[in-house]
Amino acid sequence: MTMSKTRSEGTLPVVSLPLPVDVTAPAVARQAVRATLASLGLDGPDVDDVLLATSELVTNAFEHGEKPDRLDVEYADGRLTLRVYDSGSNRPKLKEPSPMAARSRGLQLVHALSDDWGHELCEGGKYVWAVFSLRRADASA
């Protein structure tokens, strides 16, 4: 897997990672996001929230989308945005899981951990995004 980086006006690099179409996708995505956050000087407990949300978004793309495609990471003005693309057109729904259910809590976790989240239709499918407030360690308080 290779990551590509591009630069947008006023942002740090956008990392775009092609996702494997198998059960390794969440782990591959977590590893890439962890490396990206470290390279940006972002660490601390909030990083764990981002990594958990990454796992949930990619798992949902794998299980509920038609085919996971890629993960984009962008950081600008203290805000980190994750975007997970898949080829499905079904829109994600925030459901209240049964207390006895072993699954179906992914979007609930993303909702609880992120500042905001949503989805957009795009050419070839959709992407689900989540935004987190994260400050670099070298940023003044």
Closest by Cα among 12, 10, 56 to 37: 12
In-domain check, residue 140:
no
For residue 82, the enclosing domain spans 15-133
- The answer to whether 78 touches 135, Cβ cutoff 8 Å, is yes
Helices (H) and strands (E) in the chain, counts: 3, 6
- The answer to whether 117 touches 128, Cβ cutoff 8 Å, is yes
- Tell me the pLDDT band of 8, cut-offs 50, 70 and 90: very low
Question: Per this entry, what is the length of the chain?
Answer: 141
- Tell me the pLDDT band of 67, cut-offs 50, 70 and 90: confident
pLDDT of residue 9: 43
Phi, psi dihedrals of residue 72, rounded to the nearest 5°: -115, 140
DSSP state of 87: S
Tens digit of pLDDT for each residue in 116-137? 999 999 999 999 999 999 987 6
In-domain check, residue 123:
yes
Looking at the structure of the chain, the number of domains it has is 1
Phi, psi dihedrals of residue 40, rounded to the nearest 5°: -90, 0
Domain holding 65: CATH number? 3.30.565.10
In-domain check, residue 55:
yes
Task: Give the bridge partners for 10, in sequence order.
Answer: none
Tens digit of pLDDT for each residue in 83-99? 999 998 888 877 776 66
The three-state secondary structure class of 56 is helix
